[in-house]
Structure 1
Amino acid sequence: MTQKNNIPAGIALMIGATIVFALQDGISRHLAGTYNTYMVVMIRYWFFAAFVVALAARSSGGIAAAARTRQPGLQILRGLLLAGEICVAVYGFTVLGLIESQAVFICYPLLVAALSGPVLGEKVGWRRWAAIGVGCIGVLIILQPGMGVFNPWAIIPLISAFMFALYGLLTRYAARQDSTATSFFWTGVVGAVGMTAIGMWFWEPMVPRDWGWMALLCVTGATGHWLLIKCYEMAEASAVQPFAYFHLMWTAILAITIFGETLRLAVIVGTVLIVSAGLFTLWRERQQG
């Protein structure tokens, strides 16, 4: 991959990816609210697997080169972990709503920073720990434990964030020996196999209109990943990563206008703290990079 470092183009691609992923969240909520979550994620993974196989077939060395790895166990664990995380996240959309789920989920960069020490052996200084603490306060403000109105389902997006953070760290670890193309290939194929083994037992008839939404969900999934790949080809990750928080804004707009969700003051305050802490953590990584 040739790094062009065209930051304006990279930012535009990242914002485009956040729009697509927000649409994907909305469609996932609609379908999983009507059909079994495992089945919805399984069909989504079939298309995703076809996408990564097609990319691998067109690359230098073909599918054999993309699939070649000296750490298959790690790649399988990564793939299954992401598939499980998607199931948890989509289920969270149906029981908690898009806004509250995403508001808690965006703490995952802080979890990555916290876990990078024990998982990757990286040094985490006091400034990052302070940012992680601020982010945790933001999460607590959103969840409101002990206020008499705490919804136990609110723990679901926190579990999803933890799983995604661990997936991200394992991806970094895998990158020490495998290329991005190899990790991407294993992610799609392993996820499809794992979800088929589970989802086939939960198959439900789907009305023709929802097959259209299912097709759109598959297309948005592939398009979102393609935009991210192009984004990181265009610019350094540290320059474009802060714009990933646009995902929350698009999701909130979709949730309010389409699904009739409301935006609580506690969610706004907590989200501001989490995003601020996340941006500070990204800035510290860039300073030390």
Structure 2
Amino acid sequence: MTSKMARGKTATQATALASGSVSTGLFMMFAAVMISPIIDIFAKLAITTVPAIEISAARFLIQSLAAVPFLIMRPHLFSMSWRSTGFHIVRGGILALSMISFVATLEFMEVADAIAIFFVEPIILTILSSIILKEAIGWRRYTACAVGFFGALLVIQPSFAEVGYVALLPVLSAFCIASFAILTRIGSQKEDPWSMQLQSGMWGFLFCALPMLFSDMLGMPGIAFTSADTTILLYLLGVGVSATLSGILGVYAYRAAPASMLAPLQYLEIVSATIFGWLVFNHLPDAIKWLGIAIIVASGLYIIWRERRFASKPVSNVETTPLTP
């Protein structure tokens, strides 16, 4: 009897600990998606003075520096080889292109609209996972992808009429992040998340910094390094710090709770982006864009639900932080 009571007590304690861990993970992911649009708010404030590539470089630099202390404390987690270096160079280049594309969009579009279009990323990732990783994707999820793209078009169409092809840059950014996630899935089986974050940030910074240094040689004076006043430096610092905070919270959220449970919370970013956009820039999406946002969110949640139901790996499940530009 005593043994049974002890086992029962132990099981109850384990359940309580698991429940507490999941609650912590949910809270951390909620905080991460609430902070994430602040990256774009600061970027939009800075883009009026400095080029998108410089804003992206500042973000990568600060994020990389934030990862250094963790790897100093655990140096065995950081390993490099020619093969892994080439892998991370590709990841860093893709991530840099995604960030630059998205930040460049913010010069012409509102934050909430750009993020709404960007959230076709889970849909793109579902398709790429089927093609590259050979994951089984049924007709229902393909249908959800098609519906999601229709929702994106409802957001893109009026934006396209206003700003032209710039409205497609968030789609390019989403495609890059989906590709980055595929590579992260492959690499995360062998490497530590902090090591991967440092190397992707380091190479992303170099992909931004080098074109700025050689802008005249490249015939692209528009991407040259621009000296910034104190206000712009604070905006750049805000981009980097908020990205780092959101990233760290995301890493630990995925350690504390199942990815399939956390993934739907990412769509709250559209809500927080809308709130911040309204508070800072006094902008709210119109009715057509709200309809498009609702369709994108619904299709994305359906994809996540299908994957969770059939116990396949969620489209947003990467070992490092989900990277919204």
- Give the structure-1-normalised TM-score: 0.91
Aligned to 2:69: 54
Q: Aligned-pair distance for 1:44?
A: 2.1
Q: Aligned-pair distance for 1:258?
A: 1.2
Runs of at least 4 residues of structure 1 off by over 6 A? 147-150
Q: Aligned-pair distance for 1:38?
A: 1.3
Distance 1:75 1:212 in 2: 29
Given residue 203 of structure 1, which amino acid in structure 2 is its aligned partner? Answer: F
Q: Aligned pair 1:66/2:90, yes or no?
A: no
Q: Aligned-pair distance for 1:180?
A: 2.5
**3-state DSSP class of the match of 2:284?**
coil
**Structure possessing the higher radius of gyration over alpha carbons:** 2
Q: Aligned pair 1:141/2:163, yes or no?
A: no
5+ unaligned residues in a row in structure 1: which ranges?
none
Q: Aligned pair 1:10/2:25, yes or no?
A: yes
Q: Aligned pair 1:40/2:52, yes or no?
A: no
* Per-residue Cα deviation, 1:198-219 (whole angstroms, up to 9, x for no partner): 2334211211122222222221
Task: Output the aligned Cα RMSD.
Answer: 2.0
Q: Aligned pair 1:260/2:275, yes or no?
A: no
Distance 2:265 2:235 in 1: 27
Q: Aligned-pair distance for 1:98?
A: 0.8
Aligned to 1:104: 117
**3-state DSSP class of the match of 1:151?**
helix
* Per-residue Cα deviation, 1:155-214 (whole angstroms, up to 9, x for no partner): 111111111111111111222333323322221221122222123342112111222222
Q: Aligned-pair distance for 1:278?
A: 0.6
Cα 1:151/1:193, change in 2 over 3 Å: closer
Choose the corresponding residue for 1:204, options 210, 222, 226.
Answer: 226
Aligned to 2:322: none
Aligned to 1:235: 257
Distance 1:206 1:4 in 2: 48
Cα 1:149/1:226, change in 2 over 3 Å: closer
Aligned to 1:226: 248
Identity %: 22
Q: Aligned pair 1:193/2:206, yes or no?
A: yes
Cα 1:107/1:92, change in 2 over 3 Å: same
Given residue 304 of structure 2, which amino acid in structure 1 is its aligned partner? Answer: L
* More RCO (CA 8 Å, sep 6+): 1
Cα 1:208/1:148, change in 2 over 3 Å: closer
Distance 2:85 2:140 in 1: 36
Distance 1:109 1:164 in 2: 9
Aligned residues of 2:63 and 2:198 also touching (Cα < 8 A) = no
Distance 2:232 2:167 in 1: 28
Q: Aligned-pair distance for 1:150?
A: 7.7
Number of matched pairs:
283
Aligned residues of 1:143 and 1:150 also touching (Cα < 8 A) = no
Distance 1:11 1:239 in 2: 8
Given residue 265 of structure 1, which amino acid in structure 2 is its aligned partner? Answer: A
> How do 1:107-126 and structure 2 match up within 5 A?
107-126=120-139
Distance 2:68 2:115 in 1: 30
**Stretch moving more, 135-144 or 150-159:** 150-159
Q: Aligned-pair distance for 1:65?
A: 3.3
Choose the corresponding residue for 1:128, options 124, 141, 153.
Answer: 141
Distance 1:263 1:283 in 2: 27
Q: Aligned pair 1:173/2:161, yes or no?
A: no
Cα 1:4/1:81, change in 2 over 3 Å: farther
Cα 1:269/1:165, change in 2 over 3 Å: same
**3-state DSSP class of the match of 2:107?**
helix
Q: Aligned pair 1:75/2:97, yes or no?
A: no
Q: Aligned-pair distance for 1:26?
A: 0.1
Given residue 60 of structure 2, which amino acid in structure 1 is its aligned partner? Answer: Y
Distance 2:284 2:293 in 1: 14
Q: Aligned-pair distance for 1:134?
A: 0.9
Given residue 255 of structure 2, which amino acid in structure 1 is its aligned partner? Answer: E
Aligned residues of 1:7 and 1:240 also touching (Cα < 8 A) = no
**3-state DSSP class of the match of 1:144?**
helix
Q: Aligned-pair distance for 1:235?
A: 0.6
- Give the structure-2-normalised TM-score: 0.81
* Per-residue Cα deviation, 1:218-247 (whole angstroms, up to 9, x for no partner): 211211111111111111111111111111
Aligned to 2:218: none
**Stretch moving more, 240-249 or 149-158:** 149-158
**Stretch moving more, 100-109 or 171-180:** 171-180
5+ unaligned residues in a row in structure 2: which ranges?
1-16, 216-223, 312-325
